[in-house]
A and B are shown apart, each in its own frame.
Chain A
Amino acid sequence: MSRELINLIIQATGESLFMVSVAALVAASFGVPIGVFLATSRRGELFAAPAANSILGVIVNATRSTPFIILVVAIIPFTRLIAGTSIGSGAAIVPLTIAAAPFIARLVEAAIREVDGGLIETASSFGASPLQIVFKVLIPEALPGLVLALTLAVVSLLGYSAMVGAVGGGGLGDLGIRYGYQRFMPEMMLAVVVVLIALVQTVQTAGDYLARRVNRRVRHR
């Protein structure tokens, strides 16, 4: 493989990592609070607001059930509004974030719901405010689950980021399609796939390791 092609791969990897990490950060900063709210706002819960909970649940589900490629196209006006353009890696971050946030919210909700309700009651019994319960009890206790949720989100984002290539988003997916498929360079296609596999493996391994480290529910030696 020529030097030039290798440089292309390196550049595309950089674009992918940029899109995924920014999208993951922004999506998490929306998804985590939404997830915590979904997990604590049903009737009788910490921030009981059943109506808001249902409405938010519907929105989250709607976003999650829209195929990603349709989402990308559907929100082009919005993307333009935010990013000033609808093509390129920067613009691709917008649909990536919008796809990942509800996904993260549902995973976070599930992780928070895993926390034993007795702990909430315990903290209330010594006068903790709802916010103190979230920050001192729910999030620390759900931390292993939250780490795994974010890991899963990043892995999925790597997959999605390969798709935004189709709409001029750049990155590894774009490279694979343009060179591997349109210019018929199977070695390029292979290289892109190998790099993606390596990235996913690295993210997953790191996430698993971190989740294990923060899990105090089991003894470790």
Chain B
Amino acid sequence: MNVHQSLTAARSVESLPVAPAPVANDAMVRFEAVSKVYPAYRDKPSVQALQDIDFAIPRGSITGVIGRSGAGKSSLVRLINGLEKPSSGRVVVDGRDVSALAGRELRLAQRSIGMIFQHFNLLSSRTAADNIALPLEIAGWSKADIAARVAELLELVGIADKYDRYPSELSGGQKQRIGIARALATRPNVLLSDEATSALDPQTTRSILDLLANINRELGVTIVLITHEMSVVRQLAKEVVVIDSGHIVERGHVAEIFTHPKHPVTQAFLSEVIGDSVPVSLASRLVPQPIVGGKAVIRLQILGTDAGDTIVARLARELSSDVAVLSARIDEIGGQHVGSLTLGVPGGEAAAIQAISYLTRQKFSAERLGYVA
């Protein structure tokens, strides 16, 4: 043993009893000036899938990546586990530059990065237990160790009774549980999820998301979650990255991003939650001119004000008249209210102006849609 080796050995022994403290700013994954170009081939032009990607995914976090189809989400996660190489820049995972690895070294690094897929990607020729065992066989574990680990994982994902079933005998939710168990088999510290719930119904989606949240809490696995479903980000993620045409257009805490959406893509995703369309029955009755004895229709957005739940009562008090709720949709994102209300305020233009100015003073964004009888 040379001096250098003995020094490292001494240090690692010393540091053993101290668990690696989860530092808030400690990055599990770091993108450094990353671009990804798929080169032109035959009649297909080259595609710039990602450009100037520079951000970090905190250790132990659940980070959502959202964007439209073709935005570059899959390319982004495939760079993390080395399925793709960046055209320029570096991707550092757990302190190791994955983009510089190849061959055996890359394959070793990949064992500490798990991935789950939209269509589960289970081997149809293997039972549930044997599917979970696959990464362990590949990593060269002994039969006994594999059996013990697989039993543990089946328990963890709650399908212990299905161990000898083939994928064709299982439901989508059960298949994804196997996918999750398989991804966690080699005890990775990052779990990548590419649209893992997109093929599932809402109820099953919820149970899978709960499982992922548990895994993050109990095992401290950092989760990167690609999705085009706002509800997934809302339920699970703390951090969100919005990408569009290969660029990161917004990122930050989920509550912050969705209460102050700046980019049109973020706004579009948000409108999935708050619903920016007026109910058809109401829209058909709307007229641009005030109606005697009718109401002004005002729509307000609730983005992160925790006083959102009392605004109707306060507006009624301010106007000294009854305020009708014509439609409402309020949800919670990262502990903040997000939604929209369509209100009917008795009166004409003056009433509408008074209501909007009050709401604006109260930091709501409000607009007049028209009038109804």
Contacts and interface: CB of A to CB of B under 8 A. Distances in A.
Whether A and B are associated in the same complex: the answer reads yes
A167 B166 CA distance: 51
Label chain A's interface by main secondary structure. helix
Contacts of A119: 121, 123
A129 B126 contact: no
A219 B168 contact: yes
B107 A216 contact: no
B175 interface: no
B125 interface: yes
Interface residues of A, number: 24
A32 to B, nearest CB: 17
A25 to B, nearest CB: 24
Interface stretch (A6-14, A105-113, A136-144): A136-144
B286 interface: no
Contact of B168 (A116, A122, A136, A217): A217
Nearest to B42: A43
Contacts of A123: 134, 138
A67 interface: no
Contacts of A143: 125
B171 to A, nearest CB: 13
A125 interface: yes
B121 A126 contact: no
Label chain B's interface by main secondary structure. mixed
B303 to A, nearest CB: 38
Contacts of B332: none
A70 interface: no
Contacts of A69: none
A137 B139 contact: no
Given A126-B182, A216-B124, 14 more contacts: A121-B83, A122-B121, A123-B138, A125-B81, A126-B135, A126-B138, A126-B185, A127-B108, A129-B138, A137-B123, A140-B123, A141-B125, A143-B125, A218-B168
Interface of A: 43, 116, 118-119, 121-129, 132, 136-137, 140-141, 143, 214, 216-219
19 contacts: A118-B121, A121-B121, A125-B83, A126-B114, A126-B115, A126-B182, A126-B183, A127-B106, A127-B108, A127-B110, A127-B111, A127-B135, A129-B107, A129-B138, A216-B124, A216-B166, A216-B168, A219-B168, A219-B169
